[in-house]
Amino acid sequence: MTEVLLVRHGQSEWNAVGRWQGQADPPLTDLGRRQAAHAVAGVREAQVGAIVASHLQRAQETAAIINLGLNIGTVATEPDLCERDAGEWTGLTRVQIEQAWPGYLDRPNRGQEASHPNPAPPRRPPMWESDQALLQRVTSALANLYDRAPDDRILAITHGGVIYAIEQRLNGGFKPMANLMGRWVEVGSGGTLIALGKRVTLVDPDEITIPAGI
């Protein structure tokens, strides 16, 4: 079994202005870089043996800053850990999305998860990457991590949409995740998701940012 600490990257320029990123590639803000630097202490305590990151620069830069403080080795790149494709919503703010797709951002199922056995899925635009497609590629990435370190701990710098999908796949429900917050997950052979561990916060409490979208 491999223990993977999935961590959301630091604040990006689009996070700062409330634009949904999907697979667009904005860099970190200065705050995002400070968040990553602050995360070094928490990652050191986690005693990870390797660092991997999505290929998007907000994840790559976050991983590089953390690795600079730990000097674990070369940061590996796992493209399949990149953010969910947001389709037509890429680059839009919540206000713009609500204007063009009224009601689509409402998630009544969040409040019904505990009481309703089959809550209605949220509505999304046509080009939105499905949960099935997202989890299929993420499973492939996790399989690579298991093969790289079958009995170790790995830090994976990824994205909010990826972590949310894994949490919900393992019945973890939904709760907004801030930049430089993460979740431990146990992974088996072939990228099998075994169990969720605890959520962790690696950012300075005074610099917590919860982006409006993915």
* Residues labelled as active-site residues: 9, 83
- CA 146 to CA 2: how far, in whole Å? 6
Q: Name the residue type at position 78.
A: E
Q: The tokens of 25 are what?
A: 């590639």
| Alpha helices for 101-205 (secondary structure H) | 108-112, 131-148, 160-169
Contact 64, 102 (CB under 8 A): no
**Per-residue burial over 19-31, b = 16 or more CB atoms within 10 Å of its CB, e = otherwise:** bbbbbbbbebbeb
